[in-house]
């Protein structure tokens, strides 16, 4: 209810009487209800969950501070209108960034003025409270443990698809609710594709393998990348790995409340460029994470964000050499007044299996 109260307090400033929430992430944040087949309406008087028969028991159990209203596909608008009228709502904020055109056209039938409110609705998620940080810590702990087990099982001759399936399985055994995103396994030359899709290439001696994955706990996502080697890797592989690690650590040395996302990116980019590989680092340094795997703030050349205590950010520089290999190292970080909390505990030394 504290979260709902904060959003409700922002109504007057945004000239709205209510907020209609349609995204899964904000539904979960404000109500505790883990369901994508529902709508959350917060008015000045109360909070309501609209969902169908399949989820009403779950809604009453998880969203105990909200009134649960059962709907069907053809009764949503009518039931919404009843509540809006009863609570005296004339202007209703909505998530324009999370709504399809067809959904918006349905809501236009309501006899209220609809006003875009996405940024305000999502803004309260920017700073993580103690419970959220604990959820993220547990999600990352699951990932650390699963990755340790994965390194004992992965082997040459295994395809990228098989390796990804093995890692996903181990994450589930740790208690993950599912993958944070489609697990990335890029071996050898495929590692030069930042978001490589696991394929039928077999892991082989001499490969560097980029592994980017995450676990989910109570809806909160972890995100970690490690690059490991198989057998005898070349001196060039080791040199590039050391450069990426140096860039990653330099960012950590500078990270504290008040640093800009642009400055974070500059530190890593300048380090990599000083070795002549600036053109091989083509993506931004990092992003926030929480109920979504990519949230604000951003750390990139174009970022206008300032990192403040309580925000989350990843630190993931990389070098990608087309036709050869790639290296990326990523940690999950919580910004504090004088530094950061690193949620990842997996070593960043180059592991060779």
Domain ranges of the chain: 2-123, 130-342
**What is the CATH number assigned to the segment(s) 130-342?**
3.90.230.10
**Cβ–Cβ < 8 Å for 80, 47:** no
Average pLDDT for 18-32: 98
- Hey, what are 22's tokens? 């349609």
Torsions phi, psi of 342, nearest 5?
-95, 115
β-pairing verdict for 18-21 and 91-94: parallel
- For residue 289, give the nearest of 146, 139, 159 by alpha carbon: 139
Geometric angle at alpha carbon 81, from 68 and 66, rounded to 5°? 20
**Cβ–Cβ < 8 Å for 287, 305:** no
Q: How far apart are the first and last CA of the chain?
A: 50
| Model confidence at 223: pLDDT above 80 | yes
At 227, the pLDDT band (50, 70, 90 cuts) reads very high
Whole-number Å distance between alpha carbons of 158 and 183: 16
- For residue 339, give the nearest of 267, 261, 251, 268 by alpha carbon: 251
pLDDT at position 213:
98
Percent of the chain clearing pLDDT 70 (strictly above): 100
Length of the chain in terms of residues written: 353
Whole-number Å distance between alpha carbons of 320 and 324: 8
- List pLDDT tens digits, range 263-289: 999 999 999 999 999 999 999 999 999
Helix (H) and strand (E) counts in the chain = 10, 18
**Cβ–Cβ < 8 Å for 50, 77:** no
Whole-number Å distance between alpha carbons of 162 and 168: 10
- For residue 209, give the nearest of 169, 171, 166 by alpha carbon: 166
Is residue 297 reached through a cis peptide bond, with omega within 30 degrees of 0 on the bond before it? yes
Whose tokens are 């990116």? That residue is 265
| Model confidence at 73: pLDDT above 90 | no
**Cβ–Cβ < 8 Å for 44, 8:** yes
**What is the CATH number assigned to the segment(s) 2-123?**
3.40.350.10
- Helices 24-31 and 2-9 pack at an angle, to 10 degrees, of 110
- For residue 194, give the nearest of 297, 292, 282 by alpha carbon: 282
At 93, the pLDDT band (50, 70, 90 cuts) reads very high
Q: Name the burial class of residue 177, with classes exposed (0-12), middle (13-18) and buried (19+) by CB atoms within 10 angstroms of its CB.
A: middle
**Cβ–Cβ < 8 Å for 321, 192:** yes
pLDDT at position 155:
97
Average pLDDT for 217-223: 98
- Within 154-222, residue ranges assigned H as helices are 160-173
CA distances from 279 to 243, 287, 320 (A): 14, 21, 9
- Within 205-300, residue ranges assigned H as helices are 235-254, 261-274
- Within 87-185, residue ranges assigned H as helices are 101-107, 118-123, 130-153, 160-173
Cβ count near 290 (within 10 Å): 22
Whole-number Å distance between alpha carbons of 71 and 75: 6
pTM of the model: 0.95
Report how far Cα 117 is from the mean position of its chain's Cα atoms: 21
- List pLDDT tens digits, range 125-170: 999 999 999 999 999 999 999 999 999 999 999 999 999 999 999 9
At 1, the pLDDT band (50, 70, 90 cuts) reads low
Geometric angle at alpha carbon 270, from 267 and 276, rounded to 5°? 150
- What is the rounded average pLDDT for all residues in the chain? 97
């Amino acid at each position: 209810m504290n979260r709902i109260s904060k959003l409700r307090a922002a109504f007057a400033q945004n000239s709205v009487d209510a907020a209609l929430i349609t995204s899964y992430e904000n539904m979960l944040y404000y109500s505790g209800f883990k369901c994508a087949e529902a709508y959350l309406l917060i008015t000045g008087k109360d909070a309501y969950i609209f969902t169908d028969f399949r989820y009403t028991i779950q809604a009453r159990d998880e969203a105990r501070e909200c009134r649960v209203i059962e709907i069907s596909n053809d009764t949503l608008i009518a039931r919404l209108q009843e509540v809006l009228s009863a609570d005296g709502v004339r202007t209703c904020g909505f998530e324009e960034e999370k709504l399809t055109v067809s959904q918006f056209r349905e809501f236009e039938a309501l006899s209220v003025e609809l006003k875009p409110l996405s940024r305000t609705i999502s803004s309260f998620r920017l700073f993580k409270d103690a419970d959220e940080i604990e959820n993220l810590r547990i999600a990352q702990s699951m990932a650390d443990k699963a990755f340790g087990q994965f390194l004992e099982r992965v082997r040459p001759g295994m395809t990228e698809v098989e390796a990804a399936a093995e890692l996903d399985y181990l994450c589930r055994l740790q208690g993950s609710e599912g993958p944070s995103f489609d697990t990335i396994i890029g071996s050898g030359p495929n590692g030069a594709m930042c978001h490589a899709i696991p394929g039928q290439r077999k892991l082989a001696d001499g490969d560097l393998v980029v592994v980017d994955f995450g676990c989910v706990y109570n809806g909160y996502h972890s995100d970690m990348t490690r690059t490991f080697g198989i057998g005898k890797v070349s001196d060039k592989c080791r040199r590039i790995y050391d450069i990426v690690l140096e860039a990653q650590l330099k960012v950590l040395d500078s990270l504290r409340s008040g640093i800009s996302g642009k400055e974070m990116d500059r530190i890593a980019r300048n380090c990599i460029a000083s070795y002549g590989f600036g053109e091989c680092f083509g993506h931004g340094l990092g992003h926030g994470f929480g109920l979504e795997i990519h949230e604000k703030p951003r750390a990139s050349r174009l970022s206008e964000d300032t990192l403040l205590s309580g925000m989350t950010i990843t630190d993931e520089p990389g070098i990608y050499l087309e036709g050869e290999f790639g290296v990326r190292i990523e940690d999950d970080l919580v910004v504090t007044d004088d530094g950061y909390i690193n949620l990842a505990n997996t070593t960043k030394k180059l592991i060779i299996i």
